[in-house]
Amino acid sequence: MRLALYQPDIAQNTGTMLRTCACLDVAVDVIGPTGFDMSDRALRRAGMDYLAHVRLERHASWEEFNRQRCATGRRLILLSTHADTPYTRHDFVDDDIIMVGRESAGVPDDVAGLCDVGLRIPVAHGLRSLNVAVAAAMVLGEAVRQLGKSS
């Protein structure tokens, strides 16, 4: 299982997702460019004390990430407010990559079109969406539960 962050633009959300992934033993792909300094030094300075426990891979671009993903045959699952399928009605597999978009803009249509599955988190009528780090944690928690990987 992996979590992919598409061009994240808020460092605090990225830190929260990295910590979540460290605790759940989920690898992370960060797809650049990011809206902040993503170096190990900057992350440590920001208080990311779990960095040593994160299996983190940085990708300079969407194209680089997607080329690598396609070569491995992994399924790419996009969390999107525009998706029809609730995340609780999806069967996750070990090698899934769950992707979240930018906090400010999600993912472009051409990127969304290359994803294998789109999932949404149902929210109360009239509300737009959850914080991206909260959404990632909810869906990763469900995936880990389904796969029987919880401690």
User: Domain total for the chain?
Assistant: 1
What number is the average pLDDT over the span 34-46? 80
CATH number at residue 133: 3.40.1280.10
Tell me: pLDDT of 76 over 90.
Answer: yes
Q: Which domain holds residue 54?
A: 2-147
Mean pLDDT (the chain, rounded): 93
Question: Residues in the chain, how many?
Answer: 151
H-helix segments, 25-57: 40-45
Tell me: pLDDT of 72 over 90.
Answer: yes
Tell me: pLDDT of 35 over 60.
Answer: yes
Tell me: pLDDT of 36 over 70.
Answer: yes
What number is the average pLDDT over the span 66-93? 97
Sign of CA dihedral 17, 109, 32, 73: positive
